[in-house]
Amino acid sequence: MTHSVNSTEPNTTEPNTKITIGSMEYINIFPLYYYLKDNPRLEFVKGTPQKLNSMLDNGEISCAFASAVTYLNSPERYDILPFCIGSYQKVESVTLFSQEPIEFLHDKSIYLTGESATSSLLLKLIIKKFIGIQPNYTTNVENRNSSVAQLLIGDSALARYHNDRAPYTYDISELWNLLTGHSSVFGLLLVTKNTPVEVKKYLHQALTTAYDQHLNDLDLCYDSLDEKDKFLPKSTIVNYWKLLEYQLNPVMLSSLLGMFAMIESNILQHLDASQTAYTLTGAVCKGSQLQPPQQFEKEDDSKPSPKLSLIDEHGETYTI
């Protein structure tokens, strides 16, 4: 069954000019993009999360799917449309490929991709807080192949996850869920605060319509991919898309607030790693024997919870 992509144009007052949206260059966002790409009022600029972050920061674009931590770094600059790139458990495209078990990586080199700040930060939180070790991190691409472990994201991570796993392969979203009980939110749809209300309303309605349609025909989405993006069988990519959540629903919101609270509690700077050491067994972490430490839910009573400025269906903002 096919669907008209033109139906995603919302029934609202149209902006006078085109709206440019920064879209991640990976296939993760394609089921939404498919139902938006023919909207005559929208145009897309593709890039890595880090590139889109930079374009937002520099004012080159006013709306983008950017790394979640971009908002935390500059909440005064952005509002959040209620859409995200998240996963309830495993995600397959944010993965640590290691030659040794993760608990043996103390003083060993870990390459962190420069494509995403959120993924790198989640891995650092996991290793520092729950594993209790201190590796040597590098973002120098020249050190990637010589590092004992590599954190990859996006299409390259997804392809390797299914074709060329390392001896120890850890899905970061699955590991985060196991240790914290939270889902993962890697990307947020950010809009600069000076964007007109009517544009925010238009985007909210267009994205809502696309979200409501995105699961209708994932086979058709796959068939519409560029040939270079069909790097895995149809069934594998369709199943991958089903792992993803694009709506910033209450579960994702709670997880996002939990992640932000951990970051703001300065865990990376002040956690005593010797207090929390865990052993992870298996090449792909299943680890049902692991339990999150009791202090996770209550990091710092004196520190207020981070606030989120969200955009409603009318283009107005509200804070939670």
User: What pLDDT is stored for residue 13 in this prediction?
Assistant: 47
Residues 176, 98, single domain; the answer is yes
Answer yes or no: do 99 and 159 share one domain.
yes
Is there a single domain that holds both residue 269 and residue 156? yes
Both 209 and 177 in one domain: the answer is no
Residue 57's pLDDT is 87
Q: Give residue 266's pLDDT.
A: 52
Same domain, 82 and 198: yes
Is the domain of 11 the same as that of 39?
A: yes
Number of domains within the chain: 2
The answer to whether residues 206 and 194 belong to one domain is yes
Length of the chain equals 320
Q: What digits encode the pLDDT tens for the residues 231-262?
A: 999 999 999 999 999 999 999 999 999 999 88
Same domain, 52 and 157: no
In this structure, what CATH number is given to the domain that contains residue 224?
Answer: 3.40.190.10
What six digits make up the tokens of 236? 């594998």
All residue ranges of the chain with pLDDT < 70 are: 1-16, 266-306
Residue 280 lies in a domain: yes
Residues 15, 81, single domain; the answer is: yes
Range of the domain at 70: 5-86+185-232+245-249+305-319
- Whether 202 is in a domain gets the answer yes
- What does the pLDDT read at residue 14? 53
Q: Are residues 194 and 79 in the same domain?
A: yes
Q: What is the pLDDT of residue 82?
A: 98
Q: What is the pLDDT of residues 28-58, one digit of tens each?
A: 999 999 999 999 999 999 999 889 988 998 8
The reply to whether 61 and 143 lie within a common domain is no
Does residue 153 lie within any of the structural domains?
yes
| SS3 category, 265 | coil
Contact 80, 310 (CB under 8 A): yes
Q: What is the pTM of this model?
A: 0.85
